[in-house]
Structure 1
Amino acid sequence: MDVEWRISDEPVDYEAALADMTARAAAIAADEAGERVWLLEHPPLFTAGTSADPAELMNPDQFPVFDAGRGGRYTYHGPGQRVGYLNLDLSKRGKDIRCFVHALEGWMIDALAELGVEARREEGRIGIWTGSGDQEAKIGAIGVRVKRWVTLHGFSINVAPDLSHFGGIVPCGIADFGVTSLAHLGLDAGMAELDAALKARFPDFLERLSSACARNG
């Protein structure tokens, strides 16, 4: 099954992106549209997931705050951060949400490896992590929703955002660790290089869905 790739060169308004993504998911569920991966950036903003704790929004006046409808807690989006919205049909790829999230984490880790970043999962923590000791930090976030077995939302990877912007929230509810980016790690890779790495490792991600996830679902 072919999956459309859409890349937006200019920052996309969050509410417009949410409406577009929701409409696309409904069309996929009705068998009226194909699956899609949408790579974009947003203007600076905070989003609140379904488990968001108001105490973790320390500066509500810093940027606009949106209810995302996805799982998870507070997240920052802004220029220099690659956001990936996935509208995939799990009724055809495996009705296993946990497996889908695990495969999504693997895709992010594989793409970062293409750019020379040793990234990993950490037991008990959401997101993608890199570094060790005092340098351990989060480089990627995940927040998804599944409706009628079609996925919404997806992931974000920090390329070169203003990391001070994360100070207005407790990112994903994890206060004991900081956030990092490709630029902060001293890498020259930009959006184009990350996009190319994501696309190169996308077939592996789909293979995980069609093997492990389809078997479980």
Structure 2
Amino acid sequence: MQIRWLERPASYRPVWQAMQAFTEGRTPETDDVLWLVEHAPVYTLGQAGREEHILNPHGIPVVHCNRGGQVTYHGPGQVVLYTLVDLRRHGIYVKEFVHLLEQCVLDVLAQAGVAGACRKPGAPGVYVPQSALQHPQGVALAKIAALGVKVHHGCAYHGVALNVDMDLSPFSGINPCGYVGLQTVDMRSCGVEAGLVATGDALALRFAQAWA
């Protein structure tokens, strides 16, 4: 499986268009590829996205795209793994694929020392618990990784975004993934100092191993 980093920081729209072109032009013999990228600040609104979940973009561009899901933010300090893979050739369905992406993030976070990362039923992505001191009514989950995929003729693209060490304030301009009041965190705010490139490399390698 080919793995490559794109130029950083990358504008969102050209990368999205390149993913579309690659997927539309691939054949049953085309190798699967993984792209790693750190985006310039952007909000992306998925196919099911609703404008009311964009509260105040503060001048950050908003791009309507064709992935699944609602609205999210990409920006410096976040690594995005784009998985341009043939699901049909691999014999895997979308629900299983989403589970695999989540598991790869969970594995990387556990290896890095982020405690308690988990899934949330009915809400794709990866979450970490926030203490009862922060949430007096009980322990809440904050999102550390968001995912969204698009499938075209049995081939998937888009992927998963993991917050490593970033300015989290732009998330306050949206209802992340369409959830009012959902908190977002990064690895640094979980007490783990991790390099963006090293984390991206670990995530891509974990996915490549799981996909083999």
TM-score under structure 1 length normalisation: 0.88
Aligned to 1:111: 108
Let me know the Cα RMSD of the aligned residues: 1.7
Q: Is 1:95–1:149's contact at 8 Å kept on the other side of the alignment?
A: no
Q: Is 2:102–2:119's contact at 8 Å kept on the other side of the alignment?
A: yes
In structure 2, which of residues 53, 56, 65 is the aligned counterpart of residue 56 of structure 1? 53
Alignment deviations for residues 146-168 of structure 1 (CA, whole Å, 9 cap, x no partner): 00111110010001121001111
Unaligned runs of 5+ in 2: none
In structure 1, which of residues 163, 171, 181 is the aligned counterpart of residue 168 of structure 2? 163
d(CA) in 2 for partners of 1:103, 1:137: 20
Q: Is 2:80–2:200's contact at 8 Å kept on the other side of the alignment?
A: no
Aligned to 2:182: 177
1:27 deviates by: 2.6
Q: Which amino acid aligns with 1:124?
A: G
Moved segments of 4+, more than 6 Å: none
d(CA) in 2 for partners of 1:178, 1:184: 12
3-state SS of the aligned residue for 1:108?
helix
3-state SS of the aligned residue for 2:206?
helix
* Pairing of 1:86-101 with structure 2 (within 5 A): 86-101=83-98
Aligned to 1:191: 196
Q: Is 1:80–1:159's contact at 8 Å kept on the other side of the alignment?
A: yes
1:178 deviates by: 0.4
* Pairing of 1:140-159 with structure 2 (within 5 A): 140-159=145-164
1:25 deviates by: 1.1
Aligned to 1:22: 20
d(CA) in 2 for partners of 1:200, 1:37: 10
TM-score under structure 2 length normalisation: 0.89
1:114 deviates by: 1.3
Compared CA separation, residues 95 and 192, structure 1 to 2 (3 A): closer
Alignment deviations for residues 177-196 of structure 1 (CA, whole Å, 9 cap, x no partner): 30000111221111122123
Identity %: 36
d(CA) in 1 for partners of 2:91, 2:169: 39
1:202 deviates by: 2.4
1:117 deviates by: 1.3
1:80 deviates by: 0.6
Larger CA deviation: 53-62 vs 11-20: 53-62
Q: Is 1:120–1:128's contact at 8 Å kept on the other side of the alignment?
A: yes
Q: Which has the higher helix share?
A: 1
1:197 deviates by: 2.2
Aligned to 1:210: none
d(CA) in 2 for partners of 1:12, 1:199: 18
Q: Is 1:112–1:194's contact at 8 Å kept on the other side of the alignment?
A: no
Q: Is 1:88–1:151's contact at 8 Å kept on the other side of the alignment?
A: yes
d(CA) in 2 for partners of 1:112, 1:9: 24
d(CA) in 1 for partners of 2:208, 2:72: 28
Unaligned runs of 5+ in 1: 208-217
Compared CA separation, residues 86 and 96, structure 1 to 2 (3 A): same
- Alignment: residue pair count: 204
